[in-house]
Structure 1
């Protein structure tokens, strides 16, 4: 049985339209399936958690049709030891995960790969712990400016309009400029693989499993899907005008050449700030209290992602 989890409002209804096309295909009619539509924030996590109570051998795969936020919920709803493969058909506004694993843009083709190819690719999640709360992140976790921008972008009235025009990046850039001159620097202590470093006038700290953020910005250009290590980017000791220059050069990867930008690879990161700090996880925002710590590591065992294997020959649409 294939389990579909569809967020009908993701991408201003894009996910719902994609699923409507998929269920009209001959291939869809050949499979045994169950469909769940999410109805509220956190619903996908509840659905995934309930699937664990089923006989896992009966579930061929969970196919998520949504944006990255719903995928984040599904991953966190599954138990750590589940062997159920997960597949993702992007239907949101950002779709950074799809870029990170090179899924492609044709949802019918991705669906064909999921059902017919059945070859899973490993993907190592990040795990973060704040106090006793431990969760996974699919794309990235960011502290400071990155989180403030994500919060502003999520609240923006322009987001829906720009998404309809397939200009999701502009929503992020618009929020960036809006937040830039109001944002306050913070001091932070980082423990990277056991070595402590202190950064004053810090602007942001970002940890990523792949290069992309904010709807396609290649902010960690050298990041790879790999076990053990993730990439960390820090912007520090910088003026706000220069920050604007840093982000403008993100479009072609030139930001990593600024002396105020530090990029490292690590297996473990612990972060402690001197003040309350906004953070984002896969685009969703929250706060940590002053002097509260967050510890980040790679998940030991990978999840298994279907649909990422690309063939050289074009697969015909099934309609």
Structure 2
């Protein structure tokens, strides 16, 4: 049986509209399914806890929502063999973008019904896991501001761009101490650190273009030692992933990272707040089952 979790608030209500059409498809094909339509994380946690305890035959859990919805569901399914997929209806949809999952729900449902799956890596940060990118510093501050925006659902990916300009006015870079695979390095005037399992975050920003979720590696992008005007130039190239060879950008692959800073910096994972530095991130190989 397929279990669908529909975030009522995602995509200005698009999730519910898409679900109505998907439900028609499932009924026409005589597919067994159950659905939860909600707008609270607590409902999602309770539903999945009860489902996993029931020992029912679960073909897949499928989210209709964005990266925040995915983050919560994944952290409930971690440690099980239950496969997961998403029909993207959120404002960012970075996980779906990285995995080639489109907004064509007819096409995506057809793929789901083939029941093909694989294992992918996850990022581990404290007692939580992350599907896409852990952001530290400037980008995490931007994500925090975006999450506070009352009009986020209307602006979509543009919300991140507008907030970048706002945060840039007052943000000051920091000195960072990194332990990379047990080797310590210090970076001065660090604007941001992005630690990636998939290439995208922030609604389509290709921050770590070489990141792959099945290579057992963390891809890390560090932007540092730049004046603001130069940072803007770098950020203008980030959307297409052309920044990695530019001066002031370090791109590294490792298995584990510990980050410390002179002043506490915001930390996000999948766009959700995870607290502040110091923090540690490591790769968890083949930790999660996903539908192709």
| TM-score in terms of structure 2 length | 0.94
- Aligned residue for 2:95? 97
Cα distance change, pair 263–22 in 1 and its aligned pair in 2 (3 A): same
- Aligned residue for 1:314? none
- Aligned residue for 1:21? 21
Cα distance change, pair 184–3 in 1 and its aligned pair in 2 (3 A): same
Which blocks of at least 5 consecutive residues in structure 2 are unaligned?
A: none
**Are residues 1:263 and 2:251 paired?**
yes
Q: Partners of 1:187 and 1:240 in 2: how far apart?
A: 16
**Are residues 1:295 and 2:292 paired?**
no
SS in 1 for 2:40: coil
Q: Partners of 2:42 and 2:281 in 1: how far apart?
A: 22
Q: Report the Cα offset of residue 152 of structure 1.
A: 1.8
Contact 1:42–1:73 (8 Å) recurs in 2? no
Q: Report the Cα offset of residue 124 of structure 1.
A: 1.1
Q: Partners of 2:93 and 2:67 in 1: how far apart?
A: 6
- Aligned residue for 1:147? 140
Q: Partners of 2:282 and 2:240 in 1: how far apart?
A: 28
Deviation larger for 272-281 or 39-48: 39-48
Match of 2:117 among 116, 120, 135: 120
Q: Report the Cα offset of residue 219 of structure 1.
A: 1.5
SS in 1 for 2:263: coil
Cα shift readout 1:278-311 (whole Å, capped 9, x = no counterpart): 11111112432xxx532211113332211x3xxx
Matches within 5 A, 1:1-319: 1-25=1-25, 30-56=30-56, 58-80=57-79, 82-115=80-113, 117-129=114-126, 134-163=127-156, 168=157, 170-288=158-276, 293-306=278-291, 308=292
Q: Report the Cα offset of residue 7 of structure 1.
A: 0.5
Deviation larger for 33-42 or 278-287: 33-42
- Aligned residue for 1:313? none
Contact 1:128–1:295 (8 Å) recurs in 2? yes
Q: Report the Cα offset of residue 221 of structure 1.
A: 1.4
Which blocks of at least 5 consecutive residues in structure 1 are unaligned?
A: 309-319
Q: Partners of 2:39 and 2:27 in 1: how far apart?
A: 27
Q: Partners of 2:193 and 2:45 in 1: how far apart?
A: 27
Aligned-residue Cα RMSD (Å) equals 1.7
Aligned residues: 292
Contact 2:214–2:286 (8 Å) recurs in 1? no
Contact 2:88–2:102 (8 Å) recurs in 1? no
| TM-score in terms of structure 1 length | 0.87
Q: Partners of 2:269 and 2:116 in 1: how far apart?
A: 28
Q: Partners of 1:110 and 1:55 in 2: how far apart?
A: 26
Q: Partners of 1:29 and 1:121 in 2: how far apart?
A: 25
Q: Partners of 1:301 and 1:209 in 2: how far apart?
A: 12
Cα distance change, pair 41–182 in 1 and its aligned pair in 2 (3 A): farther
Cα distance change, pair 285–28 in 1 and its aligned pair in 2 (3 A): farther
Contact 2:168–2:228 (8 Å) recurs in 1? yes
